Amino acid sequence: MSSKTKTIELEPCEYCDAILNGREKLVTVYRHRGASHFIFEHVPAQVCPRCGERYFSAKVVREMDRLMQDQPPHASTVSVPVIEFTLAA
């Protein structure tokens, strides 16, 4: 998962040039602020039909930023394994 968020500019997809259809799907987004990690569920995003890159509107990004600073009381917490990757070869 990428922690980068991109705002919607104009179609087409900036990575593969596929035309985005403008329809939003609800996706799960992982973000972090410093050492604090957040998972947002049901976030509206445009998803590239070819490469899967996700585009969020500036409004959605701002709301995620706000929610990371001021967590809603209904937020649930999960524990996530942190694994230092090494290739066993």
For residues 47 and 27, the answer to whether their CB atoms sit within 8 Å is: yes
Residue 21 pairs in a beta bridge with none
Minimum Å gap between C-beta 19 and Zn ion is: 9
| Per-residue interface string for the shown chain with Zn ion, residues 3-42, x marking contact by CB under 5 A | ----------x-xx-x------------------------
Task: Give the number of other Cβ atoms within 10 Å of residue 60's Cβ.
Answer: 19
Nearer CB in complex with Zn ion: 18/68 = 18
Tell me how far apart the alpha carbons of residues 75 and 67 are, in angstroms, rounded to a whole number.
Answer: 10
| Per-residue interface string for the shown chain with Zn ion, residues 46-65, x marking contact by CB under 5 A | --x-xx-x------------
Residues 6+ apart with CB under 8 A from 51: 13, 15, 16, 18
Nearer CB in complex with Zn ion: 6/50 = 50
What is the contact surface with Zn ion in residues (CB under 5 A)? Answer: 13, 15-16, 18, 48, 50-51, 53
